[in-house]
Chains A and B, each alone.
Chain A
Amino acid sequence: MQQNIYRCFLISVCFLLGLGCAYGEETSAKPAEEEEVVEIPLYQGMGVKLDLGNSIYEAAISAGKGMSVEAMVYANLKRKYLPTVEVGYGALKRTANNDATFEGKGAFMRLGCDFNIMKNKNIENMFLLGVRWGAAVQQCTIGNIIISDPYWDITQTLPARQMARFDCWGEVVGGVQVDVYKGFIMGWNVRIKALFTTVQEGKYSPAYIPGFGHNNNTTFSFNYYIGYKF
């Protein structure tokens, strides 16, 4: 199943890249003398996006025990700056190989800005680079942690630990956004994330952070989205 998702994702990426390149080629073919320097007004509209890729991916890797829904709103300023707010909800139930369990659910929000790095700002498709600050609150439970020692013949299950967590992180985002049909947009982005909040060594820490992903100091994630711009 996972292989199929990867295949679909890659096909879609190629499709989007193809669109982006085609538009780029078309525009760059114009003779230089026809180009006019036009001052672009500040407000160029706004858009909403709904993440599909991350949701599918989250569901796939956690074998249906995880979910992540995410929506984004952005404003288009001068076709160059796109201040963005992203909000979502994530949940995960996970059992490790040692039968330890994690269950967490919570909401997250990211604030940041994308920058359209296309030289020609008059075309609707965009290559975006951006930064985000993300924060998540969640309730989680770590259970079935077993302490064992075959020499002393010990097997003891520790009581489940419940936590309320606040975590924050930073992201660098890169991706593309293309116009598909009459205001409908599609796109994807890749995010590299670094966690700012740390846990004292030896203390319980969540295995998953909504909006951030599986708890490592740095991680990658994807958004593959559809949307509409006004």
Chain B
Amino acid sequence: MTTVRTLILWICLTGLTALVSCQPDNQCRKENIVEMQVSFRNKAMSKVSLDSVSIHGVGSDSVLYDNKKSVNQVALPLHKTKEVTQFVFSNGTKADTLTLEHVNTENFISLECGCFVYHTLQNAYSCGTWIDSVAIITTEITTINAAEHIQVFFN
């Protein structure tokens, strides 16, 4: 009977655990930040820090970076419903516009999390007034944080 009683106890405890654990979780617990990582480079391809950097998206009233000192990498949100996103970079004396062409994909995560919009970079270029060139390193922009998606080379 000892074995049977142990079994009963085991089933009972499993039951109690199940009672507690069967509740559906209404909170989204997934990382939901989808941002493009941009690193700043000089012509020698090495990372460079810039001073007094301001960045804002074309079409938005908000500033993403305002007069930031010693910046060598920034994270920028691409537009979720348009396939072209532009950012204006300036440092008080110089300014340039970075244009990104991308495809947006809606990814259903769960009822609680809804859809995350991921991006696939297709093209990146600038006006050439301050930024020399742009290189796409990783095309897929998702919640998995890549070290850098694009490299921006400054004159």
Task: Give the interface of A toward B (CB within 8 A).
Answer: 6, 9-10, 13, 17, 20-21, 24-25, 28, 57, 61, 94, 96-98, 100-102, 117-118, 127, 142, 145-147, 149, 151-154, 156, 158, 174-176, 188, 190, 192, 201-205, 207, 213-214, 219-222
Residue in A100, A214, A220 whose beta carbon sits within 8 Å of that of B24 in the complex = A214
Q: A57-B22, A158-B106, A222-B15 given as contacts; is B77 within 8 A of A149 (CB)?
A: yes
Decide: A151 and B77 in contact? CB cutoff 8 A: yes
Chain A binding site: helix, strand, loop or mixed by DSSP? mixed
Do the beta carbons of A152 and B15 come within 8 Å of each other?
no
- Identity of the chain A residue whose Cβ is nearest the Cβ of B56 in the assembled complex: A151
Shortest beta-carbon distance from A70 to chain B in Å: 16
> Is A102 touching B111 in the complex (CB atoms < 8 A)?
yes
B1 touches A25 (CB 8 A): yes
Residue of A whose beta carbon sits closest to that of B4: A24
Q: Specify which of B23, B105, B106, B108 lies most central, judged by the most chain A CB atoms within 10 Å of its CB.
A: B108
Q: How far is the CA of A193 from the CA of B15 in the complex (A)?
A: 13
CB-CB under 8 A from B26, the residues of chain A are 96-97
- With known contacts A145-B115, A219-B22, A17–B8 Cβ distance under 8 A: yes
Q: Which of B57-65, B66-74, B127-135 contacts A (4 or more CB under 8 A)?
A: B57-65
Contact between chains at B7 and A117 (CB < 8 Å): yes
- The complex places the Cα of A156 from the Cα of B26 at a distance, in Å, of 21
Known: A98-B28, A149-B77. A202 touches B22 (CB 8 A): no
Q: Mark B6-23, 1 if CB is under 8 A from A, else 0.
A: 011001101111110111
| B interface residues (Cβ-Cβ under 8 A, vs A) | 1, 4-5, 7-8, 11-12, 14-19, 21-24, 26-28, 57, 59-62, 64, 77, 79-81, 105-115, 117-118
In the complex, the answer to whether A190 meets B77 with C-beta atoms within 8 Å is no
Q: Which of B15, B17, B60, B81 meets A13, CB within 8 Å?
A: B15
From known contacts A13-B15, A61-B22, infer whether A142 and B111 are also in contact, taking CB-CB under 8 Å: yes
Whether A147 lies near B81 (C-beta < 8 A) is: yes
- A28-B1, A149-B77, A202-B107 in contact; A21/B22 too (CB < 8 A)? no
Query: In the assembled complex, which residues on chain A have CB atoms less than 8 Å from the CB atom of B15?
Result: 13, 188, 190, 222
Complex contacts, A219 vs chain B, CB 8 Å: 22
Contact B18 A61 (CB under 8 A): no
A96 contacts B80, C-beta separation under 8 Å: no
Could you say which of B17, B19, B62, B105 has the most chain A C-beta atoms within 10 Å of its C-beta?
B19
Q: Quick one: given A153-B60, A175-B11, are A96 and B112 in contact (CB under 8 Å)?
A: yes
Cα–Cα, bound, A146→B108 (Å): 11
For B113, the closest partner residue in chain A by CB is A98
User: Are B19 and A61 in touch, CB under 8 angstroms?
Assistant: no
Say yes or no: A9 contacts B115, CB within 8 Å: no
Please pick, from A100, A127, A213, the residue contacting B111 in the complex, using a CB distance under 8 A. A100
How distant is A123 from chain B, measured CB to nearest CB, in Å? 12
Instruction: Name the CB-closest residue of A to B34.
Output: A149
Residues in chain A near residue B79, CB distance under 8 A? 149, 152, 154
With CB as the reference atom, state the residue of chain A lying closest to B62.
Answer: A151
What's the Cα separation between A207 and B18 when bound, in Å?
19
Q: How far is the CB of B80 from chain A (nearest CB, A)?
A: 5
**A176-B17 Cα distance, complex, nearest whole Å:** 17
Closest chain B CB from A74 CB (angstroms): 19
